[in-house]
């Protein structure tokens, strides 16, 4: 008896223009009280990578060494990346939350690099004095409109003026120069990072429309089935994993981090096209049970939106970061929470053969298995796991398919 799981989505999508993408380095460390998630780009441009690693090292060391008496604390660093003509623009956002303080500390750090000149730019390299002068009244207007509630009015003139030294923090995208001020520079700290814009030359290109039709896979209800799940990607290894799965007629479920989606658009499209399921693992991998309602819904909704925009698919599944759940999270996140039956411990075990043998020794019909597609060893372990399990008659299905299969059986 066959149950045909037929999912066809005919979706028109917007595919972005091709960009050079940096690799993302991900560091996730945690115990019961301290959670650290850091994502940063490796550009292979020595100057830029030095700037980034100095910043990360400083923030990380300060976080580790300070507040020793504090019980529960979190560090999260995420980044955004833009390539506009010969300019690379990187914005690193750090978020530190400690249980002794009411508000988390947010901070932004920026690098704009000119590839032709091999130079890290200041705002003065992009904008001349006259243009800046003409923008000052508009910047003040934006500031007051957007951040009225937290402004320290007497600081405005000393920060928004023609002195370029005030604008160390800026990024560029295809439409704007974005100028940032960290909390407490012009505000009393109840607002987050301040962001103002000056128009930048417009390079928008006509975008191609494509459609993705996911693979249709037949499953045999008589045979055992398991769901392989992958957290914390996409990464440089994800595409290899997707292709390996396909080789064994397998599909998996990828709980992705939203802030990495943009740089791995092609990977996400292929993931979806090959019939894999995409789930939500938050935008920045923050410790979600600690966030306020607004920040929590942003972490979830931004990720839903970016996956929808790239693939046309709207995730239905959610995996909590750090496996940390409470009643509020369950109430506020309107997605199915998916935990796991088997932890491969691929985040801890460095030897891929051990990951494979540990996993193979414990798997049974109906299991959900957690892996992380940010390690090469996970790929190598799968090269062992997939053929062995296939030979034993296992089918590899998505979490939603597994739920459907088991529902039919039960």
Residues engaged in binding Zn ion (CB under 5 A):
231-232
| Smallest distance, Zn ion to C-beta of residue 326, A | 17
User: Considering beta carbons, is residue 232 or 284 the nearer one to Zn ion?
Assistant: 232
**C-beta atoms surrounding 34 within 10 Å:** 18
Dihedrals φ, ψ of 52, to 5°? Answer: -65, -45
Distances (CA, A) of 145 to 133, 135, 142, 282: 20, 15, 5, 30
Phi and psi at residue 36, to the nearest 5°: -130, 125
Whole-number minimum distance, CB 281 to Zn ion, in Å?
6
CB of 320 to Zn ion, least distance (A): 9
| Burial (CB count <10 Å: 0-12, 13-18, 19+), residue 228 | buried
Q: Which is nearer to Zn ion, 93 or 280 (CB)?
A: 280
We find the least distance from the C-beta atom of residue 37 to Zn ion, in angstroms, to be 8
Q: What is the dihedral angle through the alpha carbons of 130, 132, 134, 138, rounded to the nearest 10 degrees? A: 180
Q: Is 88 helix (H, G, I), strand (E, B) or coil?
A: strand
Residue with tokens 């980034």: 52
d(CA 366, CA 387): 18
**Known catalytic residue: 375?**
no
Which pairs from 40-48 meet CB under 8 Å and 24+ separation?
A: 40/77, 40/79, 40/92, 41/79, 41/81, 41/90, 43/88, 43/90, 43/113, 45/88, 45/113, 45/115, 47/113, 47/118, 47/120, 48/88, 48/90, 48/111, 48/113, 48/120
Helix 376-391 vs helix 352-362: crossing angle, to nearest 10: 40
Catalytic pick among 281, 285, 372, 375: 372
C-beta of 180 vs 318, nearer to Zn ion: 318
* In the complex, minimum distance from the CB of residue 368 to Zn ion, in angstroms, rounded to a whole number: 15
Output 231 or 299, the one with its CB closest to Zn ion: 231
Give the nearer residue to Zn ion in terms of CB position, either 52 or 374. 374
**Shortest distance, position 288 Cβ to Zn ion, whole Å:** 11
CA distance 49 to 26: 14
The smaller minimum CB distance to Zn ion, of residues 231 and 284, is found at 231
- How near is the Cβ of 321 to Zn ion at its closest, in Å? 5
Minimum distance, C-beta of residue 295 to Zn ion, in the bound complex (Å)? 17
Burial (Cβ within 10 Å: 0-12, 13-18, ≥19) of residue 140: middle
Using alpha carbons, select from 87, 177, 172 the residue that is nearest to residue 131. Answer: 177
Sequence-separated (6 or more) residues with CB below 8 Å from residue 324: 287, 288, 289
Residue 231 catalytic? yes
Quick one: 74 or 232, whose CB is closer to Zn ion? 232
Q: How far apart are CA 253 and CA 272, in angstroms?
A: 10
3-state secondary structure of 208: strand
Q: Which of 59, 58, 42 is nearest to 94 (CA)?
A: 59
243, 250 Cβ separation under 8 angstroms: no
Is the Cβ of residue 11 or residue 28 nearer to Zn ion in the bound state? 28
Query: What would the two tokens of residue 127 be?
Result: 């904008």
Catalytic residues: 231, 372
């Amino acid at each position: 008896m066959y149950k045909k799981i037929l999912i066809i989505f005919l979706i028109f999508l917007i595919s972005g223009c091709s960009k050079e993408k940096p690799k993302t380095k991900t560091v996730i460390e945690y115990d019961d009280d301290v959670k650290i998630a850091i994502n940063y780009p490796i550009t292979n441009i020595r100057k830029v990578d030095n700037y980034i690693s100095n910043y990360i090292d400083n923030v990380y060391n300060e976080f580790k060494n300070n507040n020793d008496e504090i019980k529960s604390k979190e560090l999260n660093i995420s980044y955004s990346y833009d390539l506009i003509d010969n300019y690379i623009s990187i914005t690193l956002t750090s978020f530190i939350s400690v249980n002794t303080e009411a508000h988390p500390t947010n901070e932004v750090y920026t690098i704009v690099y000119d590839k032709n000149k091999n130079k890290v730019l200041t705002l003065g390299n992009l904008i001349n004095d006259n243009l800046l002068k003409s923008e000052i009244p508009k910047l003040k207007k934006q500031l007051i409109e957007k951040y009225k509630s937290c402004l320290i009015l007497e600081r405005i003139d000393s920060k928004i003026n023609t002195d370029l030294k005030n604008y160390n923090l800026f990024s560029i995208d295809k439409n704007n120069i974005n100028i940032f001020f960290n909390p407490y520079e012009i505000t009393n700290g109840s607002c987050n990072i301040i962001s103002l814009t000056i128009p930048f030359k417009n390079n928008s290109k006509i975008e191609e429309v494509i459609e993705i039709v996911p693979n249709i896979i037949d499953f045999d209800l008589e045979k055992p089935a398991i769901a392989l799940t992958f957290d914390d990607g996409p990464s440089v290894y994800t595409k290899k994993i997707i292709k390996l799965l396909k080789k064994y007629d397998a599909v998996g479920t990828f709980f992705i981090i939203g802030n990495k989606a943009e740089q791995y658009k092609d990977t996400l499209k292929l993931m979806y096209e090959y019939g894999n399921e995409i789930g939500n693992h938050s935008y920045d991998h923050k410790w979600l049970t600690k966030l306020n309602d607004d920040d929590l819904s942003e972490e979830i909704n931004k990720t839903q939106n970016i996956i929808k925009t790239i693939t046309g698919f709207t995730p239905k599944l959610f995996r909590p970061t750090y496996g940390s759940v409470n009643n509020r999270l369950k109430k506020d996140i309107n997605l199915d929470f998916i935990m796991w039956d088997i932890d491969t411990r691929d985040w801890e075990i460095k030897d891929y053969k051990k990951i494979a043998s540990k996993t193979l020794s414990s798997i049974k019909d109906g299991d959900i298995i957690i892996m992380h597609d940010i390690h090469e060893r996970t790929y190598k372990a799968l090269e062992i796991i997939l053929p062995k399990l296939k030979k034993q008659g296992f089918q590899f299905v998505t979490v939603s398919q597994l739920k459907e299969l088991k529902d039919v059986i039960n």
